[in-house]
Structure 1
Amino acid sequence: MRVTEVVLPSVGEPEALRVRVRELPPPGPGRALVRVEASGVTFAEQQMRRGTYYDMPAFPFVPGYDLVGVVEELGAPAPGRPELVVGQRVAALTGTGGWADRVLLDAGDLVPVPDGVAAVDAETVVTNGATAWRMLHRVAKVQAGETVVVHGANGGVGGVLVKLAVAGGIRVIGTASARNQDAVRAMGALPVDYRGDIPAQVRALAPHGVAAVFDHVGGKGVKDSWRMLAPGGTLVSYGSASTRDQTGRGMINVLKLVARLALWNTLPNRRSAHFFNLWAGRSRNPETYRAELRDDLTQVFGLLRSGAVEAVIDGIYPLDRAADALRRAESGTAVGKVVIAPGGTAVR
C-alpha cells in the first residue's frame, strides 16, 4: 500500500512542507489501516513548524494532530481492542501523522463516528471537542447555572467550549476582538473585548467572580484570569499562545506556567489552578485514558449530530496545499476549523 503524506522537514515557514509517497506495510495484530478523509490544523502545528512545541518529535515528521477516516483493513484481533469493521468511519487523536491519505493506527485509539455525522464536521470536534469537554466536565466540573470565562471564544477550542457550555445551561463570557463579537454573541455568549480591560469588563457582568476561566493565552495575562475567579473557582490553563512567536524551547514557557499555577494552588483562597494537557494520563494508564476519551468524544459527536453543537469550517485544503492551510490557520482571521482533506473536497 502506498501512502501520500505531508512532511515537515525542519524549522521553517509553511512553504517548507513537502509531499512524499512511500510504502506502507499491512496492519499487524490490533492495528488498523485508515483512509483519511479529514485532518485539522491546530495550534500545535503552528508551534511545531517553529520548533517551539513543548512535546514534538524530532524532524522530519508528518504533522497532523487528529483525523477522521474510514477503516480500510484490519490486522488480526488483539485482546482488549474494540470491535471494528471495514468501512466504519472513525476518529483518532494522533499527535502527529494525520496529514496523510492513509495511516496505520492502534485499533484501541479509534473512536467510532456515529451515522449521520459527516467526516469534515466530525473533524472540527476531535481535538477541540475532546479538549473542551474534558476541561469543562472533568477538570473544572462546571454546573448548569454557573458563569465561566472563555478566552478566544471565536477560536478553535474556545468556540467549541462556548457551545458545549451553552448546551449545558452554563452562562459564558467570551473574549474576542471587536470584529468577532457578533459571532460570539450568536453562539450564546456575552462578548467582551480582549483588547480592553478584561477583568473590569468581566466584573461588570459577574461582580462576584466566575466559576471557571479557560485560558489558552498564558503569559502575563494569566494573572488576570486568576483574579477573575470567585471563591471555589477553577482556572484551567491549556496553552501559551502569547509565546507562539518566541524562539527557544517551548517546554521552558510551559514549565514556567505550570510552576506559577502550582504556586497559586498553595494559597489559602479556595481557588484552584490546573494546566490541561490532552495527553495526560495516557502513558500512565492507557486503557483508562482510551475509555474516557471514547466516552467524551461520543458525547460530543452526539451533540454535533443533534445540532446542539455546530461544525464551523473556515476552509478545506488538499494535501498539496497544506502550506496554504497552515498560513490560513495562522492568519488570525480564520473563523472555524481549517481542514485538510486528502481528497481535496469536503467529505459528507
Structure 2
Amino acid sequence: MTTDRMITEVVLPGVVEPDGLQINSRAMPVPAAGQALVEVEATGISFAEQSMRRDLYPGQPKFPFVPGYDLVGTVRTVGPGGDGSLVGTRVAAVTKTGAWATHAVVDVDDLTPVPPDVDPAAAETVVVNGVTAWQMLHGARLRAGQTILVHGANGGVGTVLVQLGRHLGLRVIGTAAARHHAALRELGVEPLDYRDPDLAARVRELSPAGVDAVFDPVAGPGVRTSFRLLAPGGKLVVYGNASALGSARSIVWVFVKLLARLYTWNALPNGHRAGFYNFWAGSLTRRAAFRRRLRTDLGIVLDLLRQGVIVPQIAARYPLTEVSAALAFAEARSRPGKVVLEP
C-alpha cells in the first residue's frame, strides 16, 4: 500500500510471462534539480513493454527494471530551485521506462501540460500513440481526398491514426481482425480482414490506382505487398516491428534487414518512397530540439482530444496491482485501443 513515504511499482525481473511481473514497494524518490515528482494517474501498455518482457526491445535496460513508456499524472514536488507553480499541475510525459508506478521522477523539460478537463486515462491514449500518429501523417505530406491504408487499425497507434486521417480529410482503409470491424466503421474506416489471403486484391478493389500511403507496424512478409499497393508517388511508413516477436532471429538482425530493404526500394525509379518512423530520432544529437518538438506535437494532440476530434479508444482499465492480467489482456488484442493502468 502506498503511503506518504512509499511508492508502489511494477518490476520486470527478466524474461517472464505476464504473471511473472513483480509488485514492489520502496521509499518515495526525491527529485533533483530540474526534475519533478509526478503522482501517476494513468499509464499504458504498448508494444514496447510487450517486447521488453521478451528482452527484444532495442536499448532496453538490464533486468530488473520498472517498465512504463509514458504517463499522465500530477506534479507533487519539484527539485531544488524548481518552479513551484508546477505543483498541482496535471502533465503528460514520455519516459520509455519507469511509468508503471504510483510515482515517477521526470525531467521538467519532458513535461507537457494536460488540459484540466481531460480525463487522465483518455489523455494517456494519445501520449506516445498520438504523437506517433501525428508526426507520421504530417511527415507523409498527404492532402485531403487522398487514400491511406493503415495496418493494425485497431491498435493503440492505429485507432488514433485513423481518426487523425479522417480529420485531415483522408479516405482511410484499415486492416484488423473481423471482430474489430464494427468499431472501425464507427471511426469512418473502411475495414478489411488482415488475414484475408486476397487482401491485396481487396485493397485494389477499393482503390484501383493504389493508395497514397501505407502505415505498417508489423514489418513482416506483407511489407513487400504494402509497397506494391502504393499509387505513383506513394509512401510506405513502417513504424514498428511486431513480426519480430515471433521470429527465431535476433530482433536487431530483423531490423537491419528491414532497413536495407527500405533503402533499396527508395532507389527504384517508380517514385515510391519507403521509410522507418523513429519516435526517438534526434533525441541524442539534438536533445533540446527533440524535446521542443515533442512538447509541441503532444500539446496539439491533447488539444484535439479536448475538442473531441480524437475520441479516446480505451480497450480496458486495470489497477496497477493487476498489471499481470492487464498485460495478458493487451497481448490478446481482443478489443481495439489501448489498455490503461490506473495507479
TM-score, scaled relative to structure 2: 0.95
Number of matched residues? 338
Determine helix, strand or coil for the equivalent of 2:295. Answer: helix
Fraction of identical pairs, as percent: 52
Deviation at 1:84, TM superposition (A): 5.5
User: Which is worse superposed, 212-221 or 19-28?
Assistant: 19-28
Q: Distance in 2 between matches of 1:238 and 1:131?
A: 9
Tell whether 2:300 aligns with 1:299: yes
Measured against aligned partners, the alpha-carbon deviations of 1:218-270 in whole angstroms (never above 9, x if no partner) come to 11100011011111111100112122133453222111111111111111211
Q: Distance in 2 between matches of 1:12 and 1:44?
A: 15
Deviation at 1:57, TM superposition (A): 1.3
Deviation at 1:136, TM superposition (A): 0.7
Tell whether 2:8 aligns with 1:4: yes
Corresponding residue for 2:21? 17
Tell whether 2:32 aligns with 1:28: yes
Instruction: Answer whether contact 1:35 1:101 (CA < 8 A) is retained.
Output: yes
Deviation at 1:315, TM superposition (A): 1.5
Q: Distance in 1 between matches of 2:81 and 2:193?
A: 53
Corresponding residue for 2:281? 280
Q: Evaluate the alpha carbon distance shift between residue 203 and residue 280 of structure 1 in structure 2; reply closer, same or farther with a 3 A threshold.
A: same
Query: 1:94-173 to 2 correspondence within 5 Å?
Result: 94-137=95-138, 139-173=139-173
User: Which is worse superposed, 246-255 or 322-331?
Assistant: 246-255
Letter in 2 for 1:43: F
Letter in 2 for 1:32: A
Measured against aligned partners, the alpha-carbon deviations of 1:190-219 in whole angstroms (never above 9, x if no partner) come to 111211222211111111111110001111
Letter in 1 for 2:21: L
Instruction: Answer whether contact 2:173 2:192 (CA < 8 A) is retained.
Output: yes
Deviation at 1:115, TM superposition (A): 2.2
Tell whether 2:60 aligns with 1:56: yes
Corresponding residue for 1:209? 210
Letter in 1 for 2:66: V
Determine helix, strand or coil for the equivalent of 1:219. Answer: coil
Q: Evaluate the alpha carbon distance shift between residue 84 and residue 148 of structure 1 in structure 2; reply closer, same or farther with a 3 A threshold.
A: farther
Letter in 2 for 1:39: T
Corresponding residue for 1:182? 182
Deviation at 1:77, TM superposition (A): 4.4
Letter in 2 for 1:29: A
Instruction: Answer whether contact 1:52 1:248 (CA < 8 A) is retained.
Output: no
Give unpaired runs (5+ residues) of structure 2: none
User: Which is worse superposed, 19-28 or 219-228?
Assistant: 19-28
Corresponding residue for 1:251? 252
Q: Distance in 1 between matches of 2:231 and 2:253?
A: 30
Instruction: Answer whether contact 1:54 1:249 (CA < 8 A) is retained.
Output: no
Deviation at 1:335, TM superposition (A): 2.3
Letter in 1 for 2:74: V
Letter in 2 for 1:167: H
Corresponding residue for 1:346? none
Instruction: Answer whether contact 2:44 2:125 (CA < 8 A) is retained.
Output: yes
Q: Evaluate the alpha carbon distance shift between residue 84 and residue 110 of structure 1 in structure 2; reply closer, same or farther with a 3 A threshold.
A: farther
Determine helix, strand or coil for the equivalent of 1:244. Answer: helix
Give unpaired runs (5+ residues) of structure 1: 343-348
Q: Distance in 2 between matches of 1:130 and 1:220?
A: 27
Determine helix, strand or coil for the equivalent of 2:16. Answer: coil
Query: 1:87-98 to 2 correspondence within 5 Å?
Result: 87-98=88-99
Instruction: Answer whether contact 1:216 1:240 (CA < 8 A) is retained.
Output: yes
Q: Distance in 2 between matches of 1:236 and 1:83?
A: 42
TM-score, scaled relative to structure 1: 0.94
Instruction: Answer whether contact 2:154 2:180 (CA < 8 A) is retained.
Output: yes
Determine helix, strand or coil for the equivalent of 2:86. Answer: coil
Q: Distance in 2 between matches of 1:248 and 1:106?
A: 36
Letter in 2 for 1:9: P
Letter in 2 for 1:205: L
User: Which is worse superposed, 315-324 or 241-250?
Assistant: 241-250
Instruction: Answer whether contact 1:53 1:251 (CA < 8 A) is retained.
Output: no
Letter in 2 for 1:22: R
Tell whether 2:175 aligns with 1:191: no
